[in-house]
Amino acid sequence: MEFKDYYKVMGVARDATEAQIKQAYRKLARKYHPDVSKEKDAEARFKEVGEAYEVLKSPEKRAAYDQLGQGHAPGQEFRPPPDWGSGFEFSGAGGRDSDYSDFFESLFGAQARSGSGGARGAFHRGRGEDHHAKVLLDLDATLQGGSRQLTLRVPEVDADGRLVSKERVLKVQVPKGILPGQHIRLAGQGGRPSGEGTPGDLFIEVEFQPHPLYRIDGRDLYLDLPVAPWEAALGATVKTPTPTGTVDLKISPGKRAGSKLRLQGRGIPASPPGDFYVVLQIALPAADDDKAKAAYAALAAALPFNPRASLGV
Amino acid sequence: MSPSEDQVISGVIFEESALLSVKDLSRMCAVEERHIVEYVEEGVLHVAAIDTAEWHFTGAALRRARLALRLERDLELNLAGVALALELMEELRRELKARR
């Protein structure tokens, strides 16, 4: 296990005040929060920052961490001393249910991962907890509907009180027309109640893998369709793949690259169904033989055309 | 309750099937009912239907409530801040879509 320098993660000095730590956290949290961030590794960074803050904002945990941290460099191999944990009492009121690093858990234990599980049980007795999972499906699952095998990781507390992750394999009938971000609700597949009562539900949030042809935007699908310059200029009827099969698409004359054509109701078959957008891309034939070169030259000679007229040159 | 491995379980699209009460939402988000009521008062959540004096929400409200809770906890925002952030996020999404 590697030693983590929480001060470095937060970008604060070792003698930073509570106010400075709070300020640093808020700034980093806004930057890396997965719901708002555009950064590439936002989720990983946000977890790291959250974990560092969890330790540094609590005077007890910070004191314990400081004592332990003497003589350790970040990334260095680390084992907590055998008598670790005595003399410190952790309140464990964090309220986040993110998964902390092994380093954190070896120091503060799984009990410090707080979470709202206890509170939940307290005011909703008699029903198992709802479980949540997120899966990445192929686009066909929503276009056609059909069953998919899903492998979920389920955290469980083992006999020694440690948190372990178990695999659960489920075959689920994916409802046709489900949209990214929506949930499949599987009644009774969540947590068991403690004692009498009904089990909770399992909520599976759905996202889609990138499709080789179509871009997904909510209920709409986008396809980049290459067309020849003369097809765009003169108009043509061209074959286009769509989720419901190949169609003959009529292109009216005078289209430019980036022109969008809408096929209503041919997106994801939700209610209401999404639309299918074809975005035209002009593909140029290669000028790699005499015939092609002559054709380009003839076009150049025939047309007084300055593609850079709008640039003033 | 555990189905055997090859049994196919059918689910429903939660966002389109459910009408949730304040109690349901509070249970699913693991917050007190008062918190859900505050979200409605601040305009973070919208009530879809009212019958016999009880509020109902669409399933889509769950996603919004969870997002609001994450922002509130992780960014230490107050209710007005959450409402503003959600509004701006929506505006941004609309604009990005229009620019496509």
A119 interaction partners in chain B (CB closer than 8 Å): 30
Q: What is the CATH number of the domain that holds A153?
A: 2.60.260.20
Among all chains, which residue has been given the structure tokens 């249970």? B27
Do the domain assignments include residue A311? no
Do the domain assignments include residue B63? yes
Q: Which of A94-108, A164-178, A279-293, B34-48 has the lowest mean pLDDT?
A: A94-108
Do the domain assignments include residue A149? yes
- The more confidently predicted of residues B17 and A180 is A180
pLDDT, tens only, A29-44: 999 998 888 888 888 8
Do the domain assignments include residue B9? no
Q: Which residues constitute the domain of residue A281? A: 214-288
- Flag whether residue A76 sits within 8 Å of chain B, measured between CB atoms: no
Residue in chain B lying closest to A53 (CA): B74
Q: Which residues constitute the domain of residue B69? A: 14-99
Residues 42-71 of B with CB under 8 A from A: 59, 62-63, 67, 70-71
Report whether pLDDT(A252) > 70: yes
Note whether B9 contacts A170, CB cutoff 8 Å. yes
Do the domain assignments include residue B1? no
- Could you tell me which residues are beta bridge partners of residue A281? A226
B9 interaction partners in chain A (CB closer than 8 Å): 170-173, 186, 189
Is this complex scored with an ipTM above 0.85?
no
Number of folded domains in chain B? 1
Number of folded domains in chain A? 3
Do the domain assignments include residue A306? no
pLDDT, tens only, A76-106: 666 666 555 544 545 443 334 446 777 787 7
CA–CA distances in Å: residue A12 to residues A23, A48, A214, A231: 10, 14, 45, 60
User: B53 vs chain A: nearest CA distance in angstroms?
Assistant: 22
Task: Please check whether residue A232 is in contact with residue A256, taking contact to mean a CB–CB distance below 8 angstroms.
Answer: yes
- Flag whether residue A123 sits within 8 Å of chain B, measured between CB atoms: yes
Q: What is the CATH number of the domain that holds A47?
A: 1.10.287.110
Note whether B11 contacts A26, CB cutoff 8 Å. no
Report whether pLDDT(A151) > 90: no
Do the domain assignments include residue A172? yes
Residue A155 identity:
P
- Closest by CA position to A219, among listed A251, A266, A153, A161: A266
Q: Which of B1, B11, B67 sits opposite A185 (nearest CB)?
A: B11
- The verdict on A99 and A22 lying in the same domain is yes
Do the domain assignments include residue B5? no
Do the domain assignments include residue B62? yes
Residue A112 identity:
A
Do the domain assignments include residue A170? yes
The pLDDT score that the predictor gives to residue A253 is 96
Report whether pLDDT(A210) > 60: yes
Please say whether the dihedral angle defined by the alpha carbons of residues A27, A28, A34 and A36, taken in this order, is positive or negative: positive
Q: Which of A5-19, A22-36, B40-54 has the lowest mean pLDDT?
A: B40-54
